[in-house]
């Protein structure tokens, strides 16, 4: 999963990428910055991208992690207001910038894309509402387990730091460290340098049932 999955077929936005060379980004590359003008949005062809908001004092809060086949940065593009979040490449990525000319051209070819886009935007709103509910009412162990599942739905390595998790799930660094250590003692995960290995995916899923 992605806990943040918008549940759209991976191929649905592929027309946006046809005939346009992708932009290749290294891990850590800042794709766009909160408060700037949104002249385009993006199709993620390969890799993972994290969106986040930043307060005036520099504190960050993760909003979403996007995988291949996703669109991101579209809300500010359509409402023509400054971006409300920033986006950074978590891994090596290939992205395609979609401007007004391209989106108009593709929708003219396939009007169903317009309806799909409306559904996508509506699900984004629903997604953020769900995240707010989770952050407000779920215990930290549930939120952390859910976050790990979002990045590794079938198990294996999760490349993130404890600071990344803390900002994503609205928990303190100390709380994240305590929960991860407990999961490691149970053999569910193994802690490495900037990497968490998920070994017992079923046990991690059960943690989300508390």
pLDDT of 44-94, one tens digit each? 999 999 888 887 777 777 778 888 888 899 888 888 889 989 999 989 999
For residue 159 the two structure tokens come to 């490349």
Q: Return the higher-pLDDT residue of 114 and 179.
A: 179
pLDDT cut 70: percent of the chain above it: 88
Residue 25 pLDDT class (50, 70, 90 cuts): very high
Query: How far is the C-alpha of 66 from the C-alpha of 1, rounded, in Å?
Result: 11
Residue with tokens 């991860």: 180
Average of per-residue pLDDT across 157-161: 84
- Phi and psi at residue 29, to the nearest 5°: -70, 130
pLDDT band at 153 (very low <50, low <70, confident <90, very high): confident
- The angle formed by the CA atoms of residues 51, 52 and 56, to the nearest 5 degrees, is 150
Amino acid 5: pLDDT: 47
User: Is a pLDDT exceeding 80 seen at residue 1?
Assistant: no
Q: Average pLDDT in the 152-167 region?
A: 83
Q: Give Cα 149 distance to the centre of its chain.
A: 12
Amino acid 30: pLDDT: 96
Through-space distance between the first and last CA atoms of the chain, rounded to whole angstroms = 19
């Amino acid at each position: 999963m992605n806990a943040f999955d918008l549940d759209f077929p991976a191929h649905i936005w592929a027309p946006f990428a046809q005939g346009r060379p992708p932009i290749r980004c290294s891990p850590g590359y800042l794709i766009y910055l909160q408060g700037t003008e949104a002249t385009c949005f993006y199709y993620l062809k390969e890799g993972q991208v994290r969106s986040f908001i930043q307060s005036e004092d520099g504190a960050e809060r993760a909003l979403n992690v996007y995988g291949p086949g996703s669109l991101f940065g579209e809300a500010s593009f359509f409402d023509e207001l400054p971006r409300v979040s920033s986006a950074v490449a978590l891994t090596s990525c290939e992205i395609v910038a979609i401007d007004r000319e391209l989106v108009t051209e593709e929708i003219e070819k396939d009007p169903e894309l317009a309806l799909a886009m409306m559904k996508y935007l509506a699900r984004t709103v629903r997604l953020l509402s769900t995240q707010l509910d989770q952050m407000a009412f779920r215990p930290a162990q549930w939120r952390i387990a859910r976050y790990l599942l979002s990045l590794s739905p079938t198990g294996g390595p999760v490349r993130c730091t404890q600071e990344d998790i803390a900002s994503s799930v609205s928990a303190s660094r100390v709380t994240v460290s305590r929960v991860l250590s407990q999961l490691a003692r149970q053999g569910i995960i193994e802690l490495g340098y900037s990497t968490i290995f998920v070994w017992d995916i079923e046990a991690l899923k059960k943690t989300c049932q508390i």
